[in-house]
Amino acid sequence: MDVSELTTLAAFADTTPRGIAGDLARLVNSGELAAGVRLPTVRELASELGVSPATISQAWQALARAGLIESRGRAGSYVRRDAADGPAMRMRGMAAPDDPVRLDLSRGTPDPLLLPPLGPALSRVSARADVGSYQAEPVLPGLAAVLRDSWPGPAESIVVVDGALDAISRTLEQVVRFGDRVVVEHPCFPPFLDLLDLLGAEAVPVAIDEHGMSPDGLASALRRRPAAVLLQPRAQNPTGASMTASRASALADVIRSAVADGHADLVVIEDDHSGQISTSADVSLAAHLPDHVVHVRSFSKSHGPDLRIAAVGGPRDLVGRIMARRMLGPGWTSRLLQSILLDLLTDGAAIEAVAEARRAYYTRQRALGDALRARGVAVAQADGINLWMPVLSERSTLVQLAATGIRVAGGTPFLAAASNGSTVAGAARERGPEREFVRVTVGVVREDAASVADALASAAQHLAAGGY
């Protein structure tokens, strides 16, 4: 396709990067730009529209992140053939194959043997559950009271949704527009990056250390005027890092300065995905910035992934917009499931089962982490169910471990900088990317940590012939 054909299809009334990307996205989505069509070069379209090549390049990058076009180097940029399928490339890349292995440490899921039994809760709830009303409150009053009593900071409104990713997705949809920037941790949870791609947003990666996001890196990233900051306050996935109270205060100070400098609409989204199985302090920036923080707490890892319940707390206006949009979809999270969670959060036996799981995960983290460090693998102390293991070669490590019947998750999908070539803010304090990594789900290593550490250490320190 040449420039004249493209400008015939698109009016390009708005020649900002967002406007150009929006026009082309509409053409792709409508089918007027067919899959496989070669687009004009950056310089050709820039000359035709009277804008700088950097403007077109930014529009092309936004479309690529949204999965609508792809670059083939010197061959040019093309409309993706699978654009209709959506990107979600990192989530697909994380998916473990179905073939059986001796020990699967790749999935990032809790040990099913450490979840509280649902049988007693089901028997108690079934006798009293009211499941027949459209008009009842979307959150059970009893559950709302328990959540509020345990919330880590002020929240004008607390509601429940269908899991942490549902909460993150719905919050991002309310605060992020096409072309906006969002600060993320580096490394971070891959589906966050996929969500930003689907929204046409740009991830701005900030390095983390053992206490979470770097304040200096955040200050640098905020100069790019992002719409939101997305972080995990404890048991960060994949590293297991947790914020301290002093780090939360330092980050809040940075954000407060940005707000005072005119960035009043900035929103912080916190994903406390490990909740009650974390041994770290329950820390939130909401204690310092209640008007700017949406805190998400998931119960999947502590009480069961299939419960699909997370709580969302934050400013009344923003949480209200989230719930108003949700009422036009699922409406509310099943009150039957809410009743089960309420029972599990208040029953003595279930509370002790979760406490025992927390102790078990802590023990497993220490056992495998200490064993790896004793074998020369420099893993950091971690919280939750995952650890981030440096390796000489990610690909070689995956192959070596597969040969021994062990599966781990490759580190590449977790690297925010790798998704768009961005510079990582605060890079002097980060754990990479000069090294390669894999994520190990320590939480399912029930026994024999020494032999597992032997296999992991051997693979981590192995570099295949040919440089893999």
The per-residue pLDDT for 29 is 78
Q: What is the pLDDT of residues 263-291, one digit of tens each?
A: 989 999 999 999 999 999 999 999 999 99
Q: Where are the domains of the chain?
A: 3-85, 89-113+350-460, 117-346
CATH of domain 117-346: 3.40.640.10
Q: What angle do CA 339, 343, 345 make, to 5 degrees?
A: 115
Q: Quick one: pLDDT at residue 468?
A: 28
Work out the mean pLDDT of the chain and round it to a whole number. Answer: 89
- pLDDT of res. 464: 42
* Domain at 3-85, CATH from 1.10.150.170, 1.10.10.10, 3.30.465.10, 3.90.1110.10: 1.10.10.10
Give 263's Cβ-side CA count (13 Å radius). Answer: 21
pLDDT of residue 84: 47
Homologous superfamily of domain range 89-113+350-460: Aspartate Aminotransferase, domain 1 (3.90.1150.10)
Band of the pLDDT at 245, cuts 50, 70, 90?
very high
Position 338 confidence tier, pLDDT thresholds 50, 70, 90: very high
Query: Structure tokens of 277?
Result: 């199985």
What CA–CA distance (Å, rounded) separates 139 from 132? 15
pLDDT over 80 at 311, yes or no = yes
- pLDDT score recorded for residue 467: 34
Burial per residue of 17-55, b for 16 or more beta-carbon CB atoms within 10 angstroms, e otherwise: bbbbbbbbbebbeeeebeeebebbebeebbebbebeeeb
Closest to 384 in 3D by CA, of 362, 352, 355, 353:
362
Two tokens, residue 299: 């119960």
The Cα 284–Cα 294 span in angstroms is 10
135 pLDDT band, cuts 50/70/90, is low
> Which pairing describes strands 212-213 and 202-209: parallel, antiparallel, or unpaired?
antiparallel
Structure tokens at 128: 């009293």
Q: Would you state the pLDDT for residue 416?
A: 86
Give pLDDT tens digits for 166-198: 999 999 999 998 889 999 999 999 999 999 988
pLDDT digits (tens, 9 = 90+) for 66-91: 678 888 877 889 998 765 454 456 66
Q: Can you give the pLDDT at residue 90?
A: 67
Q: Give the pLDDT mean for 349-376.
A: 97
pLDDT of residue 433: 44
